[in-house]
Amino acid sequence: MRVALVILSLALAACSPQTPTKTGTMPGLDGHFDFATLEVVNDAGKALTFDVYLAEDFDQHRRGLMFVRDMPETTGMLFIYEEIDVRSIWMKNTYIPLDIVFARDDGSVINIVRDATPQTLNSNRSTEPARYVLELNGGTTRRLAIGTNSRLLWEKR
């Protein structure tokens, strides 16, 4: 009976939603992505700070925020691409609505797809070639006045 309870406890823990640890990161993503601080200067010129996971290679781009069930308000994922190109993001196996921010090489925002529908294969595209894609919780860009006059700023490696 004791073994069954331990196995059940482990199974429930594995299925529980992603929650931040004391360091502000999410256990399901740690170890798979580097973590950085990103500043977004919104349309009103106000600097906003986000903790972001960095998706820098093909496998990380493909995984993205799939299977994440909960994300802290000031956390997101920044996709960094080597080549500038029209970008397309889908929401397959993504359980939370996301705002998808497409940005140029200089960090200026091209366009935003707001509240992308979870668990769909809809193509959410940039309207012109982009180097970066920032994913935030759905509703964040509207609430914080992040728009096409905004800019993403961070220490690039």
**Confidence band for 155, pLDDT divided at 50, 70 and 90:** confident
Global pTM? 0.83
State residue 5's pLDDT score: 35
Beta bridge partners of residue 155, listed in sequence order:
none
Q: Which of 130, 76, 81 is nearest to 99 (CA)?
A: 76
What are the pLDDT digits (tens) for 96-142? 999 999 999 999 999 999 999 999 999 999 999 999 999 999 999 99
Instruction: State the Cα torsion 122-72-57-129 to the nearest 10°.
Output: 50
Distance separating alpha carbons of residues 85 and 20, to the nearest angstrom: 33
State residue 25's pLDDT score: 61
Query: Quick check: 84 pLDDT over 50?
Result: yes
Q: Which residue has the higher pLDDT, 6 or 90?
A: 90
Distance separating alpha carbons of residues 92 and 66, to the nearest angstrom: 7
> Average pLDDT, stretch 70-86?
96
Per-range mean pLDDT, top range of 1-15, 62-76, 132-146: 132-146
DSSP secondary structure, 68-79, as one string = -----TTEEEEE
Domains defined for the chain, CATH in brackets: 2-153 (2.60.120.1140)
What are the pLDDT digits (tens) for 18-61? 444 434 467 678 788 998 999 999 999 999 999 999 999 999 99
